[in-house]
């Protein structure tokens, strides 16, 4: 069964460092997403991406964050200068069309120290 894959599964980084989280969405999907879950809290929407541009972003997704689809398969989330409060599980997701089922990857756990 097709799945969303994410790397790394866990990353520890120093405050102020740049981090890139990588994702390979399901191959025939058109919509890509990043969500965040701070430990013990609910899952929060960060950004959606369609047709090579951001279609919607939340207030969490400030200038420190950026997304890119550098080739036909990868979808990346970059955090330019990490803060302690960026520590969270970051989920990549994809769907075939809006309203269709959104499938999530296994998550990348980011720890900022």
Partner 1 sequence: AQKVTQAQTEISVVEKEDVTLDCVYETRDTTYYLFWYKQPPSGELVFLIRRNSFDEQNEISGRYSWNFQKSTSSFNFTITASQVVDSAVYFCALSEAEDYKLSFGAGTTVTVRA
Binding site for partner 1 (CB under 8 A): 31, 33, 35, 41-45, 48, 50, 55-56, 58, 89, 91, 98-99, 101-107, 109
Q: Which residues of 30-58 are buried (b: 16+ CB within 10 A; e: fewer)?
A: ebbbbbbeeeeeeeeebbbbeeeeeeebe
For residues 48 and 82, which CB has a smaller minimum distance to partner 1 in the complex? 48
CA end-to-end span of the chain, whole Å?
37
Minimum Å gap between C-beta 65 and partner 1 is 15
For residues 13 and 109, which CB has a smaller minimum distance to partner 1 in the complex? 109
């Amino acid at each position: 069964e097709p799945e969303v894959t994410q790397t790394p599964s866990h990353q520890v980084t120093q405050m102020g460092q740049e981090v890139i989280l990588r994702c390979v969405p399901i191959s025939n999907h058109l919509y890509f997403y990043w969500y965040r879950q701070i430990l013990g809290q609910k899952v929060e929407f960060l950004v959606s991406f369609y047709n090579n541009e951001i279609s919607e972003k939340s207030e969490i997704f400030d200038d420190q964050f950026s997304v890119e689809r550098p080739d036909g398969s990868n979808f990346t989330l970059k955090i330019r200068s990490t803060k302690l409060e960026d520590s969270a599980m970051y989920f990549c997701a994809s769907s075939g069309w809006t309203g269709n089922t959104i499938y999530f990857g296994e998550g990348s756990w980011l720890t900022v120290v």
